[in-house]
Amino acid sequence: MILLWSKHQTGPAAQVIRYLLETEVTKTAQQQASVTRRSPAPELLLGDPILVGMMIDSLPFQCRYRCATLSWAEDELDVARFNNGAVGLRRAIDGTVRLFLELACAGIPERARPPVLVGTHTHLGRLEVNILMPRAVGLPGAPLRSWNPHPPTIGSRADWDAYVDVVNSHYGWFDPRDPKRRRATTPPSWMAKEAAEIMRRSAKGEKLRLGPSDPRFRAWALLRQAVQQNASNREAIRQALHHGLAPYQWGVTSESRTSLTCGALHRAGPRVTFKGAALGDGDEDAIDPYDAQSANITHCD
């Protein structure tokens, strides 16, 4: 099991709640919109969508909610048994969610904690449990205070890593930091989502492909190929990208110890940053639990 946090923390509550709970959602791939029907439909495990939505929309803060996803691999948990109500699995998920909420609200009296919304996605053949929390706490009748269950600090990261370790060890689930399970390269979440959507549509017979004219996707393909051929040789990977992206007047524009960024070399334009084990990144990229490509949403720390 892996824990993923959405970077998006503002915008209308109805937008994220619809994505988490509605049976039909609109996805965009290669600038073509399509309605996806989730079957099985999302299941509400805990909370009142109206209450949670009202609290989020009433907050005067810029960052008004946090959304996290607990995600299991297809071969890690039998999603069909879960959907059929298997008691053991249901108890395990309930315990995992309740421990999550206890850590998120550590030190906050129960009556000062915000309402939460917990729902599932299983239509992709694996279990995802989405947890939506207003970013505020306060005793009844007292002013609400801005609150972040996962602030951008080393201590918070260590706390949540420990949570994942404890839960996976207790229930016998996979360790996401196992070197054998780490991805060599990871694209930005929007790119991974679009590629997955294209593959889903292709499986249905729709003629959609990753556009060869988009240098961002070309960079991703070249990077995967270069990593397979050159393992962790940074210089060889860099040269392969420069050569393959030359027709687009693109190349490697910057890099860090754990990432590599490609973009136009002699003009302003889009950039795309890749991470992954082959680039020295020890952690998986967090994939947003809802697709914000068509939404007007601001990122908050």
Q: 127, 71 in Cβ contact below 8 A?
A: yes
Angle formed by the axes of helices 87-104 and 154-171, to 10°? 160
How high is the pLDDT of residue 298? Answer: 40
How high is the pLDDT of residue 181? Answer: 67
Query: What kind of fold does domain 2-180 have according to CATH?
Result: BirA Bifunctional Protein; domain 2 (3.30.930)
CA atoms of 118 and 68, how far apart (whole Å): 10
Comparing CA positions, the residue from 295, 292, 294, 212 lying closest to residue 7 is 292
Beta bridge partners of 152: none
How high is the pLDDT of residue 287? Answer: 42
Amino acid at 246: A
CA atoms of 254 and 274, how far apart (whole Å): 11
The contacts of residue 100 (CB under 8 Å, 6+ apart) are: 3, 68, 70, 131, 163
How high is the pLDDT of residue 199? Answer: 67
- Look up tokens 């005067």; give the residue: 60
How high is the pLDDT of residue 83? Answer: 96
pLDDT along the chain (301 residues), means of 10: 92 94 73 73 97 97 96 93 96 98 96 97 94 96 94 95 96 83 77 72 60 78 87 84 92 91 89 85 47 38 46
Amino acid at 280: G
> Is 0.85 topped by the overall pTM?
no
How high is the pLDDT of residue 232? Answer: 67
Comparing CA positions, the residue from 115, 146, 111 lying closest to residue 50 is 115
How high is the pLDDT of residue 31? Answer: 54
Domain boundaries, the chain: 2-180, 183-279
